[in-house]
Amino acid sequence: MKNEEVKRRAVIKGINFRYEVFPRDVEDVRALVVKTGFFRDDEISVAAELVAERLNRGPESGYCFVMAEEGERLTGYACYGPIPCTVLSFDLYWIAVDPGFQGRGLGKDLLHEAERLIHKMGGGRVYVETSSKTQYDSTRRFYERCGYSVASVLDDFYAPGDSKVTYLKRLQKATRSAK
């Protein structure tokens, strides 16, 4: 990554973005995801495992990160990566913001930064999956306000009464080679 992208300033004063993951991020991401109150224990473990996978395998892991921090305190993050065997499609695996920073534009800023980097990597489509549970109403509204539309709903996917809602956003024209 170019030097000018080592750190970028977020919308909120005092928040910077970084794109490398550090060993401390495994537990910082775990703590942040727990703090949101949205996720089950198995989901929390997966969030931390993706950071560890990036640390262990580097870019070959397929997981990319935007970490938002105030000093060295993690205030939010996004995890994304190319979908294997596709030409233009990327998944946004995680986006989470510390509850003390929610409602201030940090989530939107993280999402836009991930989209910018996806586009720079040749991505043209971003997919996001979330739950249909009432608890996730604000999450679904967030994606819709950010230009995402519902691409599919898989009934009872996570559990009875808990469907998977997949959102899609088409980015400006881009190209990437299939891997």
pLDDT, one tens digit per residue, over 15-65 is 999 999 999 999 999 999 999 998 999 999 999 999 999 999 999 999 999
Per-residue pLDDT at 174? 53
- Based on its alpha-carbon atoms, the radius of gyration of the chain, rounded to whole angstroms, reads 16
Per-residue pLDDT reduced to its tens digit, 155-173? 999 999 999 999 999 997 6
Cβ contacts of 3 within 8 Å, gap of 6 or more: none
Predicted TM-score of the model (pTM): 0.88
pLDDT value of residue 126: 98
Q: What is the pLDDT of residue 101?
A: 92
Measured in degrees and rounded to the nearest 5, phi and psi for residue 148 equal: -90, 150
Angle at 66 between CA 166 and CA 114, to 5 degrees: 45
Q: Which residue has the higher pLDDT, 1 or 118?
A: 118
Determine the average pLDDT of the residues in 85-111: 95
pLDDT at 147 over 80: yes
Mean pLDDT of 79-104: 95
Cα→Cα distances 11→66, 67, 76, Å: 14, 14, 13
Residue 13's pLDDT is what?
74
pLDDT at 173: 66
